[in-house]
Amino acid sequence: MDMKWVFLALFVLLLLFIVIIYNRLVTARNRYKNAFAQIDVQLTRRYDLIPNLVDVAQRYMSHEKDTLEAVIKARNQAASALGEVAADPGNTAAIQRLGASEQGLSGVLGRLFALSENYPDLKANQNMMQLSEELTSTENRVAFARQAFNDAVMDYNVTREVFPNNLIANNFGFREAALLEVDAPEKREAVRVAFK
């Protein structure tokens, strides 16, 4: 009779252990989903600013139609990728597509700003300066939100992969989450110093 109570106690402890691990996994997953929601807010703000920026630039840069169209196309691709990830932040392939589309958008925006240097009236335009400042501010917010998201994803993945959590995670369908990486090739280049 005493062995029966010992087995029952062990079963209850095992069940409690599984519930604690499961709840920890759910909490970590919800943290990275919430962190992505913050990215969603900032990227949506960014995407809303871009058409205004292009509209102002279009008045001055009539010869740069291809660049302006490329910015809008890249913005639309990034917004589409964002919508896909917002529907399922755990979708690894969608996260990778968002990272690639963000990289493409950053590249064409950089080209737009470089071209705007050739148009002094555009650079001096109050709307252009305000939009550029708002876009820069939003870029900083996106970077902070992306870092928070990647930290939450890292925490979730570690929680998911350690033993014995991995046994429970695999049996209850907790998939690996992907980091949101936006590669900027210019950041990887060595700094060149030239003395005159």
d(CA 169, CA 41): 29
Q: What is the pLDDT of residues 43-73, one digit of tens each?
A: 999 999 888 888 888 777 767 778 888 889 9
Q: Which CATH architecture has domain 2-184?
A: Up-down Bundle (1.20)
**Contact assessment for residue 85 and residue 102, using Cβ atoms and an 8 Å cutoff:** no
pTM (2 decimals)? Answer: 0.76
What average pLDDT does the structure give for the chain? 86
